[in-house]
Amino acid sequence: MTSRLEVFNPATGEKIRSVPEQSAQQVKESIERSHRAFQQWSKTSAKHRASLLKKWFDLIGEHQKELAKIITLENGKPYQEALGEVTYAAGYIEWYAEEAKRVYGRTVPASVTNKRIIVTRQAVGPVAAITPWNFPAAMITRKAAPALAAGCTFIIKPAPDTPLTALELVRLGHVAGIPEDVLQCVIGDGEEIGSIFTNHPFIRKITFTGSTPVGKQLMKNSASTVKHLSMELGGHAPLIVDQDANIDLAVKQTMLSKFRNAGQTCVCANRLIVHESIKDQFADRLNQEVAKLKVGNGLEEGVSVGPIINQKGFQKIVEQINDAVDKGANVLIGAKYDVDDEKSCYFVHPTILTNVDLSMKIMHEETFGPVAPIITFQTLEEAIKLANDTPYGLAAYFFTENYRRGIYLSEQLDYGMVGWNDGGPSTVQAPFGGMKESGIGREGGQEGIEPYLETKYLSIGLDE
């Protein structure tokens, strides 16, 4: 009998639907179909692939409300935020529909007269994607769109918490005309499918968004077949508020960065590093804004902070808050929880911690929750040291009106993405990705199609 995955609403505990899971054998068959389909798909014209992607984009636009509702139901994020995610997700498809036509090679002057050198680009092959629950739509389209545009075939393994968005996106892709074997979705045990993907010689690239430990394991497992890899891993973003920052702007952007998706994003500010001279002013203003946030079911009017995805995520957040409080942090607001263990519903009220120091776990580990710990600094060098003192390097933010300090900070921060007076730099046109243990490769922008392309050099010898 086919096993089924049950999907629950994290805000109410209700079962939404169950979906069939694929067996190991079925996953292998999907890979074989992907391999066969690649032979044709990679030879289609870029114009053709672009037109199908454009149709997919249009269909997502037509179904944006249904898609947003699915996201809110299975992920918990507020409906308006889910609608925003659908627009963001669709944007990647539109962008790569356009980029498909701009995959250029080059000719290079040879050092001898009887040779010609031509460099071309071609699709890497069938791609397997393992995607997370925190952006059930955008983390799929950010990978699938450039892959399909480049001529790769694509198999998605979505997170078990949020498979419904993936299935609906894939269905719309097929309605748009993308062949079924070119775009597939497999559901099932993460470890088992991950191991099949990484060991199968037909899969030429793995693209993953998720935790650093899982990313490292996928990298190890992919070594035996030397696959292309894109890894978008954990973050521990610093957000520096300098002495000459526009405080209102800094507070507004901190709210955006910290509390989007209940703080469950890889790029959200995890450490607020605030100049000693403005710490009280900044904390008071932030507190006023946090007090306005309404926690609850994302389908209810006015709710701005939804549930934490599951018990494991919840426990990690509570542990970090308790550890900080035990070591002397003050709770300015929050550290309150609405929990129903029977239904597996976990809500964390947005929390601000002050008097934070480096002995606390929250200063060293990704929180993935709505908690804003404030640590202070006196000199810019001190702020930079605090900011860079982590194995992660995904996103960093700073607020200053002083352009000299701003340029200096932007150059000193070891992060793949830096927001200067901007708490929400993610956008389809720009390369998203991290340095150090936050990952390999970039998604989005001109750079985002590169990981799906191989370079081939042709040397033509001519008669003398």
Paired with 333 in beta bridges are 352
Q: Nearest residue to ligand SIN, using CB?
A: 426
Q: Give the count of beta carbons closer than 10 Å to the beta carbon of residue 111.
A: 7
d(CA 115, CA 165): 52
- Name the segment binding ligand SIN (CB under 6 A); options: 45-53, 131-139, 317-325, 446-454: 131-139
Residues 334-393 that bind ligand SIN (CB under 6 A): none
Phi and psi angles of residue 330, each rounded to the nearest 5 degrees, phi first: -100, 140
Is 266 annotated in the active site?
A: yes
Among 209, 304, 354, 355, binds ligand SIN (CB under 6 A): 209
Phi and psi angles of residue 301, each rounded to the nearest 5 degrees, phi first: -55, 135
Enumerate residues 6+ apart whose C-beta is below 8 A from 430. 417, 444, 445
d(CA 413, CA 165): 35
d(CA 180, CA 183): 6
d(CA 110, CA 116): 6
d(CA 352, CA 346): 18
- Name the segment binding ligand SIN (CB under 6 A); options: 52-60, 265-273, 350-358, 369-377: 265-273
Among 50, 267, 356, 383, binds ligand SIN (CB under 6 A): 267
Among 134, 141, 230, 254, binds ligand SIN (CB under 6 A): 134
- Name the segment binding ligand SIN (CB under 6 A); options: 109-117, 218-226, 260-268, 277-285: 260-268
Least Å distance between CB 433 and ligand SIN?
Answer: 10
Among 92, 96, 133, 135, binds ligand SIN (CB under 6 A): 135
* Nearest in space to 425 (alpha carbons), one of 413, 436, 391: 413
Enumerate residues 6+ apart whose C-beta is below 8 A from 303. 78, 294, 295, 296, 297
From the candidates 21, 85, 94, 232, give the one annotated as an active-site residue.
Answer: 232
The residue among 256 and 299 lying less far from ligand SIN, judged by its C-beta, is 256
Least Å distance between CB 96 and ligand SIN?
Answer: 15
Least Å distance between CB 260 and ligand SIN?
Answer: 8
Applying CB under 6 A, does 282 fall inside the site for ligand SIN?
Answer: no
Among 72, 426, 428, 434, binds ligand SIN (CB under 6 A): 426
Is 191 annotated in the active site?
A: no
From the candidates 266, 268, 437, 443, give the one annotated as an active-site residue.
Answer: 266
Question: How many residues of this chain bind ligand SIN (CB under 6 A)?
Answer: 9
Residues 261, 237, 190, 36, Cα dihedral to 10°: 100
d(CA 198, CA 155): 13
The residue among 95 and 135 lying less far from ligand SIN, judged by its C-beta, is 135
Residues 429-448 that bind ligand SIN (CB under 6 A): 432
Applying CB under 6 A, does 22 fall inside the site for ligand SIN?
Answer: no
From start to end of 124-213, where are the E strands? 127-130, 154-157, 183-185, 205-209
The dihedral region occupied by 188, where left means phi > 0, alpha psi between -120 and 50, and beta the remainder, is left
Active site residues: 232, 266
Residues that bind ligand SIN (CB under 6 A): 134-135, 138, 209, 265-267, 426, 432
